[in-house]
Structure 1
């Protein structure tokens, strides 16, 4: 048992109202949002599309996210962050409701899926940086290990329920109803986030121009080797993982695993890995936080490897579980590093650069997933994703700051 566990005050004293509301809203929207990619992929397939079309629709959501992330980060550091989140959630509720209506009415052509997926990506670009800033600013650093682990456990529990529900409902009643649930989740999340106190949300302070503030964020980002090294790694790794899990996975499930419900179970196993790993993460306090976190990146290669080897559904689910465990192992330590090293006033802008670099190649990866499967065969494309992910996890360890960045607060019983 750690010193923090022995001396920590009751949860009510460290879990601020902002933390509690943000966590609850994240769970609500996450339930629907975890199911939406499954529903969208199978809506494309039901409309006669194939691997390439699934990749195009996935890329259509990601590309606007990339284009608008920096603006979203700058606004989140200028305006009350909870207001930015409310506006983004409301916008996503409208776009998903329209998409659901089109799918249910049988009028969701490829163009509609592309346009409305792109609109959803714009909402995410404004929501993401504000969300990161709010959750990090809501917790004192001495409680960050427990708080961020519990936050990710809640977030990932929604991933489990949403993925399982999405696969089952898509198979039972079709993708349109799943998209409608996602729209409702966004609307409820927006209402909840109105309860966040303005004084705890990060009020606007911007007196300079947007470009000046973006330059400040860039200087903070590029001046830290550990930060840009991990983000460069993730730029390619995320593209590989997204192609394997949102494009190739549904296609393999449709071809030989039993369809949407099977892939929903695999995605639920991924979420379960994230949640269960959060339990030991609440107490484990590694001294070298990024070195510990980067070991989780090696596990990201497991799903693509399992699919390439034509393993059975239980073994594919096991691989997804391992990948989910890796996400939590990396994610908690990454959040601690950002909170510890980045000034609070710059959190959203730095988070925007982080997110931008991490997903900038993902739209290209998903769009090229279909042509890659044609050129390399589906198995060859999956092998490429797995090996590239593993290699980049190893290369990140060549950066000295990734290996040496240490926790600053006193932790007498931390792991070496």
Structure 2
């Protein structure tokens, strides 16, 4: 690991530049894929909204089902190597989807199968990525690195989403999916050039590793409390962004154009928030992170109150800023507090818990809006976010965990001898 005393800009560190470049390119391609996959499926013969939902579900469910497996694997082998494997698998999946769409013959079962492969690749990639950052960046600069990484990925995602419609209209959804496959290949090549410490072979079974990861996760009150909070928050946000927000925009705000302004404002806020979070220094990062969740409820409440578009957009920008302040402080705290050898497994439990109710939020939003009304459903989502956040603040560890408590962990990690350089990387 680089010496923590080195205070030169992180952009001068070639290892960090490789990691940041790989993530930026990959996320840019994913921005294309979000739009391209939907339009590609809808352009197929016999396409219906139900078929699109099925394909998207086939992509999303493996991310939840296999995320714990991804954490175990990432703590047993080189995380950089696993990320390369995941990128190659993802490239193959999107190349296959592109080929099916471009050929004009795309049986639903094959499209769903490739969507499952793409989702599985994400499940393998995410815990490995979370565990790789502390191996590339000094412990004392993790917050700065996480902020810079999120500025790059948020900017590239926004650019990808903005350009995707133009690309789909210009060259077609199939070629847009092919571009995403290329982005995965570029990410794999860049990640393969990373040089990170290797790790000793583990003799324990995968089940033992899974239990050890659970013990490391469940023994930290601040960790499982915030994950439980975000299981509710993410479900409410998914219901708003995926269903209720577009519904109220269509009914009262003028349709897709108004909703696109609101969503774009939030995306811009995430870029500003990541830049702010890279620099801010706080005494109690988990407390500040949890408090930064409250702004997420405000634009939802304003939508429920039929506020004008400009006011909702302003609050969505602020919620985007707060969301990335949370994300950077949260990621940094986990990376500092959790022993390196268990980091990916703990990250996988964090991912699993936070996303556990996300599909439920999407599934329940439509029927709830039909039963009690769209505005009432939005008000319920805002209330759930506020209640879950207040409940998290009841935890003494959430309120009291301070960086001073993490310094010994970070110091032990920095001073630990490396197992040996991973020659495969």
TM-score tier by shorter-chain length is 0.7 to 0.9
Q: Contact between 1:59 and 1:367, CA under 8 Å: does it hold in 2?
A: no
Cross-structure match for 1:344: 340
Q: Say if 2:84 is the partner of 1:119.
A: no
Match of 2:189 among 188, 191, 216: 191
Q: Say if 2:29 is the partner of 1:32.
A: yes
1:110 to 1:373, Cα distance in 2 relative to 1, 3 A: farther
Secondary structure of the residue that 1:206 maps to in structure 2? coil
Could you tell me how far 1:263 is from its partner in structure 2? 5.4
Q: 1:108-187 maps to which residues of 2 (within 5 A)?
A: 114-170=112-168, 175-187=173-185
CA distance in 2, matches of 1:171, 1:208: 52
Q: 1:53-68 maps to which residues of 2 (within 5 A)?
A: 56-68=54-66
Could you tell me how far 1:112 is from its partner in structure 2? 5.4
Cross-structure match for 1:278: 274
Could you tell me how far 1:362 is from its partner in structure 2? 1.5
Match of 1:321 among 317, 320, 324: 317
| Runs of at least 5 residues in structure 2 that lack an aligned partner in the other structure | 408-425
Q: Say if 2:235 is the partner of 1:239.
A: yes
Q: 1:2-401 maps to which residues of 2 (within 5 A)?
A: 9-11=7-9, 16-42=13-39, 49-50=48-49, 56-104=54-102, 114-170=112-168, 175-197=173-195, 199-200=196-197, 202-203=198-199, 205-249=201-245, 257=254, 259=256, 266-310=262-306, 314-401=310-397
Could you tell me how far 1:178 is from its partner in structure 2? 3.6
Could you tell me how far 1:354 is from its partner in structure 2? 0.7
- C-alpha distance after superposition, 1:385-407 (max 9, x if no partner): 23212221221111111111101
Q: Contact between 1:225 and 1:399, CA under 8 Å: does it hold in 2?
A: yes
CA distance in 2, matches of 1:174, 1:383: 39
Aligned residues: 400
1:400 to 1:191, Cα distance in 2 relative to 1, 3 A: same
Could you tell me how far 1:251 is from its partner in structure 2? 5.8
CA distance in 1, matches of 2:181, 2:260: 19
Query: Once superposed, what is the RMSD of the aligned Cα atoms?
Result: 3.1
Q: Contact between 2:71 and 2:347, CA under 8 Å: does it hold in 1?
A: yes
Identify the range of structure 1 (18-27 vs 361-370) with the bigger mean alpha-carbon deviation: 361-370
1:37 to 1:274, Cα distance in 2 relative to 1, 3 A: same
CA distance in 2, matches of 1:135, 1:71: 20
Could you tell me how far 1:350 is from its partner in structure 2? 0.6
Cross-structure match for 1:414: none
Cross-structure match for 2:411: none
TM-score normalised per structure 1: 0.85
CA distance in 1, matches of 2:384, 2:107: 34
CA distance in 1, matches of 2:108, 2:184: 24
Cross-structure match for 2:413: none
Q: Between Structure 1 and Structure 2, whose CA radius of gyration is higher?
A: 2
Q: Contact between 2:286 and 2:330, CA under 8 Å: does it hold in 1?
A: yes
CA distance in 2, matches of 1:110, 1:239: 28
TM-score normalised per structure 2: 0.83
1:326 to 1:54, Cα distance in 2 relative to 1, 3 A: farther
1:55 to 1:225, Cα distance in 2 relative to 1, 3 A: farther
Secondary structure of the residue that 1:79 maps to in structure 2? coil
CA distance in 1, matches of 2:287, 2:188: 36
| Runs of at least 5 residues in structure 1 that lack an aligned partner in the other structure | 1-6, 412-416
- C-alpha distance after superposition, 1:327-365 (max 9, x if no partner): 211111112211221111111011011111111222233
Secondary structure of the residue that 1:78 maps to in structure 2? coil
- C-alpha distance after superposition, 1:220-256 (max 9, x if no partner): 1000000000111111211222232234455666776
1:207 to 1:118, Cα distance in 2 relative to 1, 3 A: same
CA distance in 2, matches of 1:254, 1:84: 43
